[in-house]
Structures are given as C-alpha cells and as structure tokens.
Amino acid sequence: MTTSEKSSTSSPADIIKGWKTDRLIKFLRSDKNFKDLGLNDGFFTKLEDEKIT
C-alpha cells in the first residue's frame, strides 16, 4: 500500500494517533473545527505535562 492509498483510507483518528504531543497541540489550537470545544490553556498544559502518546 502506498502512502497516498494509506492516507485516503485512514480515518482522521488513525492519522492523529501517530502524532507526537506537540504536533497534536498545534493542530488542536489551530483547527477551526475545534474552536467550539473551549479547549483552554490548562487543557494544553496538561497535555504537554503528560506527554500523551
């Protein structure tokens, strides 16, 4: 399976699972679809402290 085939059949959750914490935080902070969730700095600090993998 090529990279393009994998990305077209992978769900967003599957793609995000491979991200490191800092990339996930950048994505959540910048993506307009997550703005309504009300994720504040405390949430992101907790993610950084825990190094979620």
Query: Would you give per-residue pLDDT tens digits along the chain (53 residues)?
Result: 445 445 567 888 888 888 888 898 898 888 888 888 888 899 889 888 886 66
Closest by Cα among 27, 29, 47 to 39: 29
**What pLDDT shows up at residue 21?**
87
CA distance linking residue 36 with residue 16, whole number of Å: 19
**What pLDDT shows up at residue 13?**
86
**What pLDDT shows up at residue 15?**
85
pTM for this entry: 0.60
Q: CA neighbours within 13 Å on the CB side: how many for 40? A: 1
